[in-house]
């Protein structure tokens, strides 16, 4: 008798371990690790899905062991690496293992998608032949099959005679197309061509094409169009045995437009040194972590590309992570242009079907290079030779929902598993990474100069207090306006950034001081001029902009704060001839909009690119010689110990967009805090100096990277429940942990109420805490049990902010 350990899809504490089920005798030996099955669960007849995570030939458990009811996939959906990774992830992020497994799968496979078996080639056993009849594909529904049939199907899938597809509802089936290919050799075709009737023009065209393209399989519609022939010519050719026609799957290709091919550049000495070191680790299966610290425009991307090339040349695969890929189309084009069809993309801009297609290309080994945002770190690549994380300091690499993983830590885990190097790259590394490089946990590789030794742009700090004193209420200082005018005259381009982190336009009554807030959250509503709406950025609540004050019925409602829309209007008044492209969440909502706007700017159809933080990173436009930051202060004012770090990173990144090619660049930073350290250091863009001075502050205040941090949050419908629970947890932790750590709080979270739930939190700062894991597991068990209804505890290791 064979037994299987099944991880059931019930995310609770009590079910967070595998349960044992009987494998039906007929199927013994044919089930595989990582397959999904349906099992009976609990009392009653409830049937749920689960993943097979182990096998055994005996059970220690006394009492009846229920059998597996059905199998969902005739193929494993998670491999050995992912199973192990899920166990580690569950432990380190304090989440359920089943949630971790589900996080790794494309959403199509999380939903109840239809599964289709597709014949590939070769004869099927008679019993299956009968099942298919003359269909090329049938739906796989194990409930309707006998165990014998199931067994045969599993074997056929193993043998590659059948392939498995998940059908997304609105994409019905994988798209099928007919391909045509020469069936005879060139000499034979030539002989036939010499013999065909002189007036059989279409046949001659076809034969000539086949002679010129002996190996190509071409889509039939394309062939018809190229040659100007019709389908009957091809049909006749197939009957005569000149060509073969085959039906293949057309994958939905998310990058239809042709991408220009590019070739390896001649590296400079620093780049070459970096590639050599990384290549060394690739060839020696060394799971080393490198920190590639290179100033803006120093050619980090070329280092990534050539390092990936080394991995491919060694017969391995490459994984490249970028912040949010939709934000860096230029990067995508560079990688696609270099590696062509070997590249698969994974990012949030793809439809469910497109994502699944890409995932499967990776899973089947057709894609050798994966480029993607955060969740791509789980791409089912095998035999990885290098993992790259571009802009490693970016906060989008932290997952904010369960499982609250750090992409960097997952990347490092996979580096260990695959025995391959991990390259963390940035002009402004996170303090955590830079500190590890100092301690030689990571190896530091530097690119201290821009390509062609171009100078970093000259940064001017504009003191907005003076502008205000001169009674100017504009968002633009005179010096910035003059600088833009100069660029317009020289036909050069300008990038303007409005820093909107934690900052947006709100509505205030000048009579009574009332601020319009969200009814569900403790946060003011944001004014959206377009559509004339007030919006909550936390829960999505919307209402029209009121004409009278809801509090005093007064008529003096005024918008405070600024937004990109308002700045754009002002820009049009000051510089009516300038062509402006605005880039923010509103103008980039539609699929592909972001890329289109950047392409327009890149081809010189605009003079000014005005946008939020989304324009700060990665852009490489040679004609940009001026960068303006309209308000550098907002991210400084946040009650967050990383405020300095984030401001310095942002200002350095955005400054780096100027003067990247042969023309020198300059930068104007408008601020009310010209003397603050982050702004002064951003002036020289000297990361190393910033690192040293910020580390001193962190040391004095016992903050990361000197301490590790964990946030525990309790949320509930009633404020007293949330507050009461977090105080109980604090008491418990004070007893359970050693006194070598520091507990901050409990306090209400920065926004105490979101979507009608109250949030209270505490933060643990620790260096070595032997009791941490068990204490926190107890917290989850004790304070989030079924008896404590409606109270939810979340544990966030290394939160990106303390708010």
- Range in contact with ligand ATP (rule: CB under 6 A) among 123-131, 300-308, 580-588, 636-644: 300-308
- Range in contact with ligand ATP (rule: CB under 6 A) among 92-100, 196-204, 264-272, 408-416: 264-272
The answer to the question of residue 294 lying near ligand ATP (CB under 6 A) is yes
How far is it, in rounded angstroms, from Cα 389 to Cα 386? 10
For ligand ATP, which residue of 296, 504, 652, 725 counts as binding (CB under 6 A)?
Answer: 296
154, 29 in Cβ contact below 8 A? no
* Binding-site string for ligand ATP from residue 208 to residue 247, where x marks contact by CB under 6 A and - marks none: ----------------------------------------
* Residue 261, number of CB atoms within 10 A of its CB: 10
Determine whether 88 is exposed, middle or buried from the number of CB atoms within 10 Å of its CB (0-12, 13-18, 19+). Answer: middle
- C-alpha distances in Å from residue 551, one per residue of 508, 509, 548: 11, 9, 9
Task: Name the residue nearer to ligand ATP (CB basis): 234 or 327.
Answer: 327
Is there a binding annotation on residue 100?
Answer: no
The answer to the question of residue 543 lying near Zn ion (CB under 5 A) is no
- Range in contact with Zn ion (rule: CB under 5 A) among 490-498, 508-516, 580-588, 731-739: 508-516
Is there a binding annotation on residue 536?
Answer: yes
Give the chain's radius of gyration (CA, Å). 30
How far is it, in rounded angstroms, from Cα 634 to Cα 566? 17
- In this structure, what is the dihedral angle of CA atoms 95, 101, 107, 113, given to the nearest 10 degrees? -130
Cis peptide before 403 (omega within 30 of 0): yes
Residue 541: name its binding partner from ligand ATP, Zn ion, none (Cβ under 5 to 8 Å by kind): Zn ion
- Range in contact with ligand ATP (rule: CB under 6 A) among 93-101, 290-298, 590-598, 785-793: 290-298
For ligand ATP, which residue of 14, 266, 470, 720 counts as binding (CB under 6 A)?
Answer: 266
The answer to the question of residue 659 lying near ligand ATP (CB under 6 A) is no
The answer to the question of residue 271 lying near ligand ATP (CB under 6 A) is yes
For ligand ATP, which residue of 302, 354, 392, 769 counts as binding (CB under 6 A)?
Answer: 302
The answer to the question of residue 455 lying near ligand ATP (CB under 6 A) is no
Number of helices (H) and strands (E), helices first, in the chain? 24, 33
How far is it, in rounded angstroms, from Cα 588 to Cα 601? 14
The answer to the question of residue 508 lying near Zn ion (CB under 5 A) is no
Cis peptide before 746 (omega within 30 of 0): yes
The answer to the question of residue 517 lying near Zn ion (CB under 5 A) is no
The answer to the question of residue 620 lying near ligand ATP (CB under 6 A) is yes
Is there a binding annotation on residue 420?
Answer: no
Q: Compute the Cα dihedral for 570, 658, 632, 595 and give only its sign.
A: positive
- Range in contact with ligand ATP (rule: CB under 6 A) among 227-235, 293-301, 529-537, 696-704: 293-301
86, 96 in Cβ contact below 8 A? no
178, 219 in Cβ contact below 8 A? yes
For ligand ATP, which residue of 24, 76, 299, 429 counts as binding (CB under 6 A)?
Answer: 299
Residue keyed to tokens 């050995």: 80
The answer to the question of residue 313 lying near ligand ATP (CB under 6 A) is no
For Zn ion, which residue of 284, 551, 717, 785 counts as binding (CB under 5 A)?
Answer: 551
How far is it, in rounded angstroms, from Cα 128 to Cα 82? 32
Q: Compute the Cα dihedral for 744, 746, 749, 755 and give only its sign.
A: positive
Query: DSSP of 199-219, one letter per residue?
Result: T-HHHHHHHHHHHH-SS-EEE
The answer to the question of residue 554 lying near Zn ion (CB under 5 A) is yes
Residue 518: name its binding partner from ligand ATP, Zn ion, none (Cβ under 5 to 8 Å by kind): Zn ion
Task: Name the residue nearer to ligand ATP (CB basis): 275 or 518.
Answer: 275
457, 494 in Cβ contact below 8 A? no
Q: How far is the CB of 76 from ligand ATP (least distance, A)?
A: 38
Question: Which residues of the shown chain bind ligand ATP in the complex (CB under 6 A)?
Answer: 265-268, 271, 294, 296-302, 427, 451, 618, 620, 656, 660
């Amino acid at each position: 008798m064979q037994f299987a350990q099944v991880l059931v899809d019930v995310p609770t504490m009590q079910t967070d371990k595998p349960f044992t089920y009987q494998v039906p005798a007929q199927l013994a030996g044919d089930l595989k690790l990582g397959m999904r099955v349906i099992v009976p669960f609990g009392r009653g007849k409830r049937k749920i899905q689960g993943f097979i995570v182990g096998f055994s030939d005996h059970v220690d458990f006394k009492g009846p062991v229920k059998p597996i009811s059905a199998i969902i996939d005739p193929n494993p959906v998670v491999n050995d690496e992912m199973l192990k990774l899920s166990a580690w992830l569950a432990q380190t992020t304090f989440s359920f293992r089943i949630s971790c497994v589900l996080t790794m799968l494309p959403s199509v496979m999380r939903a109840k998608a239809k599964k289709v078996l597709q014949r590939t080639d070769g004869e099927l056993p008679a019993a299956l032949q009968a099942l298919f009849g003359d269909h090329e594909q049938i739906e796989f529904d194990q409930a309707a099959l006998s165990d014998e049939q199931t067994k045969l199907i599993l074997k056929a899938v193993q043998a590659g005679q059948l392939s498995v597809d998940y059908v997304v509802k609105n994409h019905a089936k994988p798209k099928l197309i007919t391909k045509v290919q020469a069936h005879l050799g060139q000499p034979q075709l030539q002989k036939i061509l010499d013999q065909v009737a002189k007036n059989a023009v279409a046949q001659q065209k076809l034969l000539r094409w086949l002679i010129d393209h002996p190996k190509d399989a071409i889509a039939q519609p394309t062939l018809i169009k190229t040659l100007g022939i019709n389908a009957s010519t091809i049909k006749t050719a197939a009957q005569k045995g000149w060509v073969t026609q085959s039906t293949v799957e057309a994958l939905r290709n998310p990058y239809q437009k042709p991408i220009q091919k590019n070739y390896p550049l001649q590296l400079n000495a620093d780049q070459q040194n970096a590639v050599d070191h990384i290549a060394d680790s690739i060839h020696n299966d060394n799971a080393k972590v490198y920190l590639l610290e290179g100033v803006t425009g120093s050619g980090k991307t070329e280092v990534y590309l050539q390092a990936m090339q080394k991995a491919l040349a060694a017969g391995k695969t490459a994984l490249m992570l970028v912040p949010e890929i939709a934000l860096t189309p230029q990067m995508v084009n560079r990688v696609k242009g270099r590696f062509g069809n070997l590249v698969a993309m994974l990012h949030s801009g793809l439809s469910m079907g497109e994502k699944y297609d890409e995932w499967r290309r990776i899973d089947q080994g057709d894609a050798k290079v994966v480029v993607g945002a955060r969740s791509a770190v789980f791409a089912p690549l095998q035999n990885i030779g290098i993992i790259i994380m571009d802009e490693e300091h970016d906060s989008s690499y932290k997952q904010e929902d369960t499982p609250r993983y750090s992409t960097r830590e997952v990347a490092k885990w996979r580096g260990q598993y695959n025995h391959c190097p991990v390259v963390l790259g940035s002009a402004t590394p996170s303090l955590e990474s830079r500190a590890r490089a100092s301690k030689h946990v990571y190896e530091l590789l530097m690119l201290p100069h821009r390509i062609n030794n171009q100078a970093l742009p000259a940064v001017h700090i504009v003191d907005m207090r003076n502008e205000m004193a001169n009674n100017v209420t504009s968002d633009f200082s005179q010096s910035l306006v003059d600088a833009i005018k100069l660029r317009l005259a020289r036909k050069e381009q300008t990038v303007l950034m409005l820093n909107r982190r934690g900052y947006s336009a709100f509505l205030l009554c000048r009579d009574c001081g009332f601020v319009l807030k969200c009814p569900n959250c403790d946060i003011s509503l944001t004014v959206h001029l377009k559509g004339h709406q007030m919006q909550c950025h936390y829960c999505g609540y919307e209402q029209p902009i009121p004409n009278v004050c809801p509090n005093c019925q007064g008529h003096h409602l005024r918008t405070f704060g600024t937004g990109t829309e308002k700045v754009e209007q002002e820009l049009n008044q000051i510089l009516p001839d300038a062509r402006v492209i605005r880039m923010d969440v509103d103008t980039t909502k539609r699929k592909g909009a972001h890329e289109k706007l950047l392409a327009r700017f890149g081809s010189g159809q605009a003079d000014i690119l005005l946008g939020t933080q989304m324009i700060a990173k990665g852009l490489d436009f040679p004609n940009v010689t001026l960068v303006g930051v309209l308000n550098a202060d907002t991210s400084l004012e946040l009650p967050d110990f990383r405020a300095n770090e984030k401001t310095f990173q942002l200002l350095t990144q955005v400054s780096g967009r100027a003067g990247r090619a042969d023309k020198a660049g300059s930068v104007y930073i408008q601020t009310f805090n010209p003397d603050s350290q982050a702004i002064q250091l951003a002036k020289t863009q000297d990361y190393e100096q910033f690192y040293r001075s910020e580390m001193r502050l962190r040391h004095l205040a016992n903050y990361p990277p000197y301490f590790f941090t964990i946030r525990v949050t309790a949320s509930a419908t009633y404020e007293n429940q949330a507050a009461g629970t977090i105080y109980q947890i604090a008491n418990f932790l004070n007893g359970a942990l050693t006194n070598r750590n520091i507990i901050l709080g409990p306090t209400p979270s920065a926004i105490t109420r979101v979507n009608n739930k109250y949030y209270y939190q505490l933060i643990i700062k620790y260096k070595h805490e032997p009791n941490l894991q068990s204490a926190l597991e107890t917290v989850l068990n004790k304070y989030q049990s079924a008896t404590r209804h409606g109270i939810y505890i979340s544990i966030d290791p290394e939160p990106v902010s303390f708010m």
